[in-house]
């Protein structure tokens, strides 16, 4: 279930209530007359099934509420109500399959911002991956994959392309380029310090690495795995279930490849530099491609993408 809160001028309130009453999947409706100070007017509250949210948002936009008032949706973790159960039964489809496009776009926008936290996490993940290569530790590779935050801007590119929100695409590209440049630079610097201190040398990369050697050896399976992971990630992003994202994080070697690239630069191994760079490029390209195709498939299944709120580029 979702909690809907609408602040609206009084002249629109009755039309909103009528729309809610006609909408399948609405469990409860409450109106607080004169409760809204900005904008001046009323507050309408409702509990509705996730499957009904996209249609309701579309109707509210058609009434111009996104221009004259505010619309907020919140997830309800627990709803103990026979009315809520009936609403979920009456709503068409399954909640896990329902896509709230405005939520997807806004989340992609937020997750693709270049921030200090993003740079820190990506740098720490790349350094951890480099240590995993030195120790030939598969456990540390998995740890580096989980720590890495790069899926956010990769998904942002896909969402931005499909929704024609090219500002998100630009923002995501800047975040990826800046983030990986800094992360690889930090890893290279620490690798040089470790080499100077005598902790590592070029033999680290030339020695047999049965558990981590795959990181800089891209092949046909690299693309396949990244494509599947990208599909799973986008499905998780658009659905009510987000647990699958962890599986995405630990199945693609983007961050380990960046760590391997930084270490190879520090130790002067051109072969591994090329291999790691190729692995990184293949994985990121496959994830974006999978994201675009998955979103287009969801768009086709839903019939069309809804118009986004004011100030955002219209979509088809």
12-67 pLDDT per residue, tens: 999 999 999 988 889 999 999 999 999 999 999 999 988 888 889 989 999 999 99
Supply the pTM of this predicted model.
0.81
Cβ contacts of residue 30 below 8 Å, gap of 6+? Answer: 44, 45, 46
The confidence score (pLDDT) of residue 7 equals 95
> Is residue 244 scored above 80 in pLDDT?
no
> Is residue 98 scored above 80 in pLDDT?
no
Where are the chain's structural domains? Answer: 2-96, 103-302
Distance from CA of residue 154 to its chain's centroid? 8
Task: Round to whole Å and give the CA distance between 54 and 89.
Answer: 17
Shortest CA distance to 48 belongs to which of 29, 30, 27?
27
Which comes out higher in pLDDT, residue 281 or 218? 281
Where b means 16+ CB within 10 Å and e means fewer, 79-111 reads beeeebeebbeebeeebeebbbbbbbbbbbbeb
**Please, what sign has the CA dihedral across residues 159, 160, 163, 167?**
positive
> Is residue 250 scored above 60 in pLDDT?
no
pLDDT band with cut points at 50, 70 and 90 for residue 248: low
pLDDT band with cut points at 50, 70 and 90 for residue 278: very high
Q: Which CATH class is domain 2-96?
A: alpha beta
Q: Taking CA 132 as the corner, what is the angle to CA 131 and CA 134, rounded to the nearest 5 degrees?
A: 60
The confidence score (pLDDT) of residue 288 equals 94
Q: In what order do the strands lie in the sheet with 26-36?
A: 26-36, 41-48, 2-8, 70-75
Which comes out higher in pLDDT, residue 48 or 307? 48
């Amino acid at each position: 279930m979702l909690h809907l809160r609408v602040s609206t001028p009084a002249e629109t309130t009755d039309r909103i209530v009528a729309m809610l009453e006609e909408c399948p999947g609405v469990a409860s409706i409450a109106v607080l007359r004169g409760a809204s100070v900005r904008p001046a007017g009323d507050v309408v509250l409702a509990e509705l099934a996730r499957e009904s949210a996209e249609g309701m948002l579309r109707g509210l936009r058609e009434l111009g509420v996104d221009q004259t008032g505010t619309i907020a949706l919140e997830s309800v973790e627990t709803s103990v109500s026979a009315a809520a159960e009936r609403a979920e039964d009456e709503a068409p489809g399954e909640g896990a399959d329902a896509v709230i496009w405005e939520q997807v776009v806004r989340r992609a926008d937020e997750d693709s911002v270049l921030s200090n936290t993003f740079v820190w996490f990506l740098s720490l993940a790349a350094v951890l991956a480099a240590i995993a290569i030195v120790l030939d530790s598969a456990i540390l590779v998995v740890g580096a994959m989980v720590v890495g935050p790069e899926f956010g801007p990769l998904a942002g590119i896909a969402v931005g392309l499909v929704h024609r929100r090219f500002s998100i695409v630009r923002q995501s590209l800047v975040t990826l380029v800046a983030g990986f440049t800094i992360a690889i630079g930090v890893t290279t610097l620490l690798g040089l310090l470790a080499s100077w201190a005598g902790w590592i040398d070029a033999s680290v990369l030339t020695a047999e690495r049965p558990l981590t050697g795959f990181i800089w050896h891209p092949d046909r399976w690299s693309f396949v795995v990244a494509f599947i992971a990208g599909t799973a990630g986008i499905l998780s992003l658009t659905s009510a279930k987000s647990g699958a994202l962890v599986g995405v994080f630990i199945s693609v070697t983007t961050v380990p490849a960046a760590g391997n690239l930084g270490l190879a630069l520090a130790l002067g191994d051109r072969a591994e530099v090329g291999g790691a760079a190729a692995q990184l490029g293949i994985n990121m390209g496959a994830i974006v491609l999978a994201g675009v195709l998955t979103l287009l498939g969801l768009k086709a299944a839903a019939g069309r993408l809804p118009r986004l709120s004011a100030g955002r580029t219209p979509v088809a």
